[in-house]
Structure 1
């Protein structure tokens, strides 16, 4: 156990005082009076040493404690109730450690707040940008119709159709923002149940069969499944995940391409569901940010494709709300593979 620093200070101070006292005592013995025997001088010096040690130790602790207490009183972030007299005054490093821990904690807190503030600014900027385009589109067509274009039936039908598409995009953005907000604030509770994931995938295939045919993209399983595959999860949310991933694969898939979904055993407790395509793929520098809200690999082309820019972010939130993992592999020019885990039904 390390010798406490104030004890060391008091010990050596007492030694120095005792040595000085001995010098004076011997000087008095040899030059003034030899009636006092050496044993008495020795006992006297021991008493001086012991008294000096305790007095110096007490004074040192008191001195340090008062000044450290003043620091605690003046610095609002330090709680004076946390100040323990014995520990703080017998080892000054305790205060240093406390302050260092506080500084490190505040540094991390400031860093997190800075990142959040940056994220908030980016998020608000993205929301404004995403809403601005369809809003201005709708506003422009409506103003044109009000200024007299509504008299022409062909123009009226065309402009109202485009206005309807702009409104649909606005509704899509608002709905997706609402879903993310609920997921982040735990307002959207998961309703876990057992269901057949193969049946759910087939329902999604049926839902988007016509959209896929427009680009000659085939939606298929990776193999023939002879038996149902039962998993545990929120069926509506997992359907949303599959919809977003399949729509994404169609949107960025190559004409005459293929979107394939496969289910494999991940470990004893989980399955892994893979959504694979042979589309254009994603460059390596975009992979780490692909699940961010409103992040687009190609800004102009992505907006031409429509959508809210929140699909993959919603996928990530839903999978994490299930306490599961989502993975992404992609080779630019060859295709992508999005996969996520789900718990096996017991």
Structure 2
């Protein structure tokens, strides 16, 4: 309801009330009309002045500030902007929207704070484990280096393995940080994804043989499957996903790689027939250091950052990755890549 209408109704109510009271005591319509007219006019002027000066003008100012500061304007600019002719309802709407946005912002900040605490705790734990191991091996070395050289060599080797693990952790954390900030550029080239998948399978052949895992990649992929992406980074994505399928797949199991053609993308799926993952873990699977089974994960090796790196690489390509899994049946990771069937010379770089 507009301001003037609100004042008019209020003044009308006051004037009518006074007029009826006067009529009750005087019993004359003449005095009723006189008292109604005087009280209505006086009330209208008084209410209009008071509401305009002390309430309406303040509401207009609040509305200007809320509306324009939401748009990112500074205070001086916000105060000089035009305001709606019906600011009371507008203020209510603006405040409700502002309160809703702030509530979401607070919830997001709480989640980020929880993630930060968990991340710092995980980083501390991941670094502490190999550091304490190295410290223990060095202390033992000091005692046996002259008495038992063979044992000393064994402890040196174990210390070296833990130093290597620390190096991988630092390298992976650095990679994620640089991917997030865009410091690592995405070198787009046009290439055939099929030969790249075969290269990765050849690289991981020995690891698969150790776990008695069979690779399934059908010979039907004989025609060029051209994508537009950073070839080396997509190699890293494939290595991480296929390594995971071997690591967490069952012995004498299989890892299947499939390619599906979409409208303007290719969908690549890596599927194992291992233990699977419970649904409650799936939303957090790409978080840094998140482990479903910490003991088994460390026993199998790795930094706990592989899937986080995969996610960051694909997001840097403006592509997506998803996971679906059924316990005791298997897990499938699926990611998209931009399709590219244009002539190679259009991109100038092979």
- Please confirm whether the aligned pair reaches a TM-score higher than 0.5, indicating the same fold: yes
Picking from 136, 154, 158, the partner of 1:158 is 154
Mapping 1:203-242, distance limit 5 Å: 203-242=199-238
What runs of 5+ residues in structure 1 fail to find an aligned partner?
31-37
Picking from 290, 304, 322, the partner of 1:327 is 322
Which digits, 9 at most, give the CA deviation of each residue in 1:89-139, with x for residues without a partner? x65343333333332222222211111111100000000111111111112
Residue 69 of structure 1 deviates from its aligned partner by: 7.8
Aligned twin of 1:272: 267
Residue 197 of structure 1 deviates from its aligned partner by: 0.8
Mapping 1:101-112, distance limit 5 Å: 101-112=97-108
Rate the CA distance shift 1:103–1:150 in 2: closer, same or farther, 3 A.
farther
Q: TM-score, normalised by structure 1?
A: 0.82
Rate the CA distance shift 1:307–1:53 in 2: closer, same or farther, 3 A.
same
Rate the CA distance shift 1:15–1:244 in 2: closer, same or farther, 3 A.
closer
Contact 1:142/1:163, CA 8 A, preserved across alignment:
yes
Q: Distance in 2 between matches of 1:190 and 1:84?
A: 44
Mapping 1:287-306, distance limit 5 Å: 287-306=282-301
Q: Distance in 2 between matches of 1:218 and 1:15?
A: 88
Residue 220 of structure 1 deviates from its aligned partner by: 3.5
Q: Distance in 2 between matches of 1:19 and 1:215?
A: 93
Aligned twin of 2:333: 338
Rate the CA distance shift 1:50–1:154 in 2: closer, same or farther, 3 A.
same
Aligned twin of 1:10: 8
Aligned twin of 1:59: 50
Rate the CA distance shift 1:154–1:274 in 2: closer, same or farther, 3 A.
same
Mapping 1:108-123, distance limit 5 Å: 108-123=104-119
Aligned twin of 1:35: none
Rate the CA distance shift 1:152–1:192 in 2: closer, same or farther, 3 A.
same
Aligned twin of 2:122: 126
Q: Distance in 2 between matches of 1:233 and 1:129?
A: 35
Which digits, 9 at most, give the CA deviation of each residue in 1:14-38, with x for residues without a partner? 564388579989x99x9xxxxxxx9
Aligned twin of 2:189: 193
Residue 163 of structure 1 deviates from its aligned partner by: 1.4
Which digits, 9 at most, give the CA deviation of each residue in 1:121-160, with x for residues without a partner? 0000000111111111112112211223355332122112
Aligned twin of 1:244: 240
Contact 2:258/2:268, CA 8 A, preserved across alignment:
yes
Range with greater deviation from structure 2 (149-158 or 254-263): 149-158
Aligned length: 330
Structure 1 runs (4+) deviating above 6 angstroms are 21-25, 41-48, 69-72, 83-86
**SS where residue 219 of structure 1 aligns?**
strand
Aligned twin of 2:92: 96
**SS where residue 256 of structure 1 aligns?**
coil
Residue 204 of structure 1 deviates from its aligned partner by: 1.0
Rate the CA distance shift 1:5–1:150 in 2: closer, same or farther, 3 A.
farther
Residue 8 of structure 1 deviates from its aligned partner by: 2.8
**SS where residue 267 of structure 2 aligns?**
strand
Residue 43 of structure 1 deviates from its aligned partner by: 11
What runs of 5+ residues in structure 2 fail to find an aligned partner?
342-350
**SS where residue 216 of structure 1 aligns?**
coil
Aligned twin of 1:256: 252
Contact 1:69/1:83, CA 8 A, preserved across alignment:
no
Contact 2:191/2:228, CA 8 A, preserved across alignment:
yes
